[in-house]
Chain A
Amino acid sequence: EVQLVESGGGLVQPGGSLRLSCAASGFTFSSYDMHWVRQATGKGLEWVSAIGTAGDTYYPGSVKGRFTISRENAKNSLYLQMNSLRAGDTAVYYCARVGRVARKAYDYWGQGTLVTVSS
């Protein structure tokens, strides 16, 4: 059974840093592209970052230069290092697997971890 379990969320002050983790199981983690997607309370989904199987990374302008996505295939783990956090980064952060049958779509999601940026 495919499972994605996020951790590392919490309360952080503006300008602070946080590192999120996503533990993957039930599939060959190294063979899949992985993304982070966030959702502010009562708002829609927003793509945050992507990492390919070769370690290539992609970001939207809203987080580029502040967030860093990485993966450690030996540990079946995905990470998101978030620096210079702002109030607008407050959201539930989901890790999501990009399907190989369902190409360019997220076929599995974690349960999410809440990040709150506030003084």
Chain B
Amino acid sequence: QSALTQPASVSGSPGQSITISCTGTSSDVGGYNYVSWYQQHPGKAPKLMIYEVSNRPSGVSNRFSGSKSGNTASLTISGLQAEDEADYYCSSYTSSSKVFGGGTKLTVL
């Protein structure tokens, strides 16, 4: 299965909001409400930020939110902070397997 499509990079200033898109197909993103988002800082393991499209794990800031429309999921980060600068990956369940997006590098200006 092909990777999900994410923009290579996004940027924003502290305090602003940004949105990262994740486009798949009806066989993955559009077919299941099992989209998750991960944050990865350099040299570190990924961290779960959003699961089942829009749910936040305990301990994740409410500045992070997720949504989905059709075959495209989105991660929105509001009130950008310097520590949000990282790579972000979306992922979807698809028929007994998993597929990831190519990743988006978020730069906080």
Contacts and interface: CB of A to CB of B under 8 A. Distances in A.
Interface of A: 35, 37, 44-47, 50, 58, 60, 94, 99, 101-107, 109-112
A105 B91 contact: yes
A86 B57 CA distance: 37
Interface stretch (B16-24, B72-80, B95-103): B95-103
| Chain A CB within 10 A, most for which of B1, B34, B48, B103 | B48
20 contacts: A37-B98, A37-B100, A44-B100, A44-B103, A46-B100, A58-B96, A94-B45, A94-B46, A103-B34, A103-B52, A104-B34, A104-B36, A104-B93, A105-B51, A105-B52, A105-B91, A106-B38, A106-B48, A109-B45, A111-B45
A46 B46 CA distance: 12
Given A44-B89, A45-B89, A50-B98, A102 B55 contact: yes
**Which 10 residue pairs are nearest across A and B when measured between Cβ atoms?**
A105-B51, A105-B36, A102-B51, A104-B34, A47-B98, A109-B45, A104-B93, A44-B103, A45-B100, A44-B102
Nearest to B45: A109
Q: Main SS of the interface on chain B?
A: strand
A99 B97 contact: no
Nearest to B57: A102
B57 A44 contact: no
A47 B97 contact: yes
- Size category, B interface: 20 to 34
Contact of B52 (A44, A47, A104, A110): A104
Interface in B27-62: 32, 34, 36, 38, 45-48, 51-52, 55, 57
Contacts of B86: none
Given A45-B91, A102-B57, A105-B52, A35 B98 contact: yes
A112 B51 CA distance: 22
Contacts of B97: 47, 50, 58, 60
A102 B45 contact: no
Contacts of A103: 34, 51-52
A107 B103 contact: no
